[in-house]
Chain A
């Protein structure tokens, strides 16, 4: 696949309209509707694209096809019953939503988490970052026609998913991080298996980097495509690899440190130009940094309890509100909770990084061709479970 073929998209209407005041000059505008169910939209996203020839003059993402009303559903459940719902937000990075929600609950209810549980949370979430970025980098390859890279990244993702399967039995919706700790301790032999993974992963990343981002066709398709300036990245509230690809030096793990992150030595990769290439590159190097964090966490891991002592089965925090956020694979993922003192949540709001990142799509796509739109959308790496909630 070199470009989005015309059979993949359906022209809605083709109309002729005059531009300016000169009646002789006309421009053909074609409105093309992509999605909601199209492989290049990475989920159920519909994009209405206005084209002048093959150049995008305006585009608008239409979201909400996967809206399940998770925030409304949460109001009908107890604090523990909401944890499985958070799995379904970002289904490529369930651990993050688990953790962000649990941190907000712990803040609201004043729960202290044992140190071993904090280390395990860091380890699984850095593994999750790798698994999620493998999906992001792989689909960047698939979008640019380099499908082989997708296979390489998915081989690595599979290893992480197997580690998670050993940990909690699930491959996608883990329900592992719980208020007060994690659901169970690491199984026997897991630490060794995890070390074996982190030992081989950086070299695999170099191979993928070489294979995909060193490829002359992929570079031509990615470089200079969908440039997001640093000013726009801040003003539009983007976060994660999207903002860092534009050179915004902002990572919650370092700048608003939570959990045991201050104890680790890691660097935050940044891009220079803010194009699709830089966003993919930032993801590649973040995976390598994640391996460093995991290794340090495994070294510092001490035996102990993984669940807070004396936690009631039915939490009923005092009335009030609390917010907490973590650096997910897609950016700053925040959960805002309001309690009225009853065992059920009064209000849950998920500050979804994918939602805010997707809002810049019209900005990035303007002036590019339709085939570049696919690359730009892929480089934003949206997960529609989280965008639509």
Chain B
């Protein structure tokens, strides 16, 4: 299924989600508010997006953007689900109940960004040691061992 057809398909079923759907660099992107994220993920799962490919986050200063990549084997299509949360309150609903694949992926985001997933069964650090201080992939993370490479311009 082409990404344009997917948009029409989505709009037919969920007219209220339609204005939130955009196409960037050939990928379908659905940006929702963080309160609606779990519902949107659940709706997309019902629509046939049965695989959770990736969960990650990006630090945009004031806000964190959660990025979920969903795939549908039946439609041969992929879609991004994005939601922004405030830096001061880094909490979002877990999608572990929809896809067990989210378990380790959300633990990784928690480990490296310090974002808490509400409803996660076992939220612990996964890549770093339990006594690690700070969240390395945040842009304001400070560590003596980081060596800033010079500009070669």
Contacts and interface: CB of A to CB of B under 8 A. Distances in A.
Given A108-B25, A237-B51, A256-B76, A63 B127 contact: yes
Interface stretch (A200-208, A268-276, A349-357): A349-357
Contacts of B54: 323, 334, 336, 349, 351
Interface string A68-104: 0101100011100100000000000000000000000
Given A76-B149, A237-B52, A336-B67, A256 B78 contact: yes
Given A234-B50, A323-B27, A359-B101, A255 B73 contact: yes
A320 B53 contact: no
B59 interface: yes
B129 interface: yes
Given A77-B149, A256-B76, A359 B67 contact: no
A359 B104 contact: yes
A145 interface: no
A11 B78 CA distance: 46
Contact of A347 (B25, B58, B136, B151): B58
A5 to B, nearest CB: 30
Interface in B52-110: 52-54, 56, 58-59, 67, 69, 73, 76, 78, 80, 99-101, 103-105, 108
A255 B80 CA distance: 18
A237 B136 contact: no
Contacts of B58: 321, 338, 346-347
Interface residues of B, number: 40
A150 interface: no
Contacts of A107: 25-26
B133 interface: no
A221 to B, nearest CB: 28
A235 B24 CA distance: 27
Contacts of A67: 127-128
Nearest to A358: B104
A388 interface: yes
Q: Give the contact-size bracket for chain A.
A: 35 or more
A102 B78 CA distance: 20
A236 interface: yes
B20 interface: no
A334 B25 CA distance: 15
A72 B136 contact: yes
A314 B51 CA distance: 36
Interface string A326-355: 000000101010100001001101010001
B22 to A, nearest CB: 11
- Chain A at the B interface: mostly helix, strand, loop or mixed? mixed
Given A234-B50, A332-B53, A314 B76 contact: no
Contacts of B52: 237
B136 A255 contact: no
B101 A323 contact: no
B148 A76 contact: yes
B137 interface: yes
Contacts of B147: 76
Given A64-B129, A107-B26, A347-B58, A356 B104 contact: yes
A119 interface: no
B129 to A, nearest CB: 7
B40 to A, nearest CB: 18
B126 interface: yes
9 contacts: A76-B149, A235-B50, A237-B52, A249-B73, A323-B54, A323-B80, A356-B101, A359-B100, A359-B101
Given A67-B127, A236-B101, A349-B56, 16 more contacts: A64-B127, A72-B137, A72-B141, A81-B149, A235-B50, A237-B52, A255-B73, A321-B24, A322-B27, A332-B53, A334-B69, A336-B54, A351-B69, A355-B108, A356-B101, A359-B103
**Closest CB pairs A-B (n = 10):** A237-B101, A64-B127, A351-B54, A349-B56, A359-B104, A67-B127, A322-B25, A347-B58, A236-B101, A76-B149
Interface of B: 24-27, 50-54, 56, 58-59, 67, 69, 73, 76, 78, 80, 99-101, 103-105, 108, 112, 126-129, 136-137, 141, 146-149, 151-153
